Amino acid sequence: MAQATEWQFAARLPRNFQPKSLRQLLMADWYLPKHLVFSLKRGKRVLVNGQYLPVNFDVHPGDQITLKFLATDFEHPYSNVTPDSAATVSVLYEDANLLVVNKTQGSKTHPNQPGEVGTTLNHVAAYLASKDQQPYVINRLDQETSGALLIAKNPAVVPVLVRLVKEKLVQRTYLTCVHGQLNQPQGIIAMPIGRSLNDKRKRQLYGDQPQMAITHYKVMEHLPNATLVAVQLQTGRTHQIRVHFAGLGHPIVGDPLYASDPPQQRLLLHSWQLRLPLPFSFKHIMLTANLPETFHQFEQQYFN
> What is residue 88's predicted lDDT score, i.e. its pLDDT?
85
Catalytic residues: 142
Q: In angstroms, rounded to a whole number, what is the distance separating the alpha carbons of residues 101 and 94?
A: 9
**Domain of 243?**
172-271+299-303
Q: Tell which phi-psi region holds residue 127, choosing left (phi > 0), alpha (psi between -120 and 50) or beta.
A: alpha
> What is residue 1's predicted lDDT score, i.e. its pLDDT?
54
57 shares a domain with 147: no
**What total number of domains does the chain contain?**
3
CB contact at 8 A, 71 and 2: no
Helices of type H across 56-177: 120-129, 158-166
DSSP state of 181: -
> What is residue 40's predicted lDDT score, i.e. its pLDDT?
96
The residue among 134, 167, 200 that closes a domain is: 167
The residue among 167, 195, 228 that closes a domain is: 167
Whether pTM exceeds 0.85: yes
The residue among 167, 192, 208 that closes a domain is: 167
CATH at 196 = 3.30.2350.10
CATH at 63 = 3.10.290.10
162 shares a domain with 145: yes
Query: Alpha carbon 246 to chain centroid distance?
Result: 24
> What is residue 7's predicted lDDT score, i.e. its pLDDT?
95
Strand order in the sheet with 203-205: 203-205, 193-195, 208-211
Q: In angstroms, rounded to a whole number, what is the distance separating the alpha carbons of residues 92 and 150?
A: 10
CB contact at 8 A, 101 and 90: yes
* pLDDT per residue rounded down to tens, the chain (304 residues): 567 889 999 999 999 999 999 999 999 999 999 999 999 999 999 999 999 999 999 999 999 999 999 999 999 899 889 999 888 899 999 999 999 999 999 999 999 888 889 999 999 999 999 888 999 999 899 999 999 999 999 999 999 999 999 999 999 999 999 999 998 999 999 999 999 988 999 999 999 999 999 999 999 999 999 999 999 999 989 999 999 999 999 999 999 999 999 988 999 999 999 999 999 999 999 999 999 999 988 888 876 5
202 shares a domain with 117: no
DSSP state of 25: I
- Reduced to 3 states, what is the DSSP secondary structure of residue 161? helix
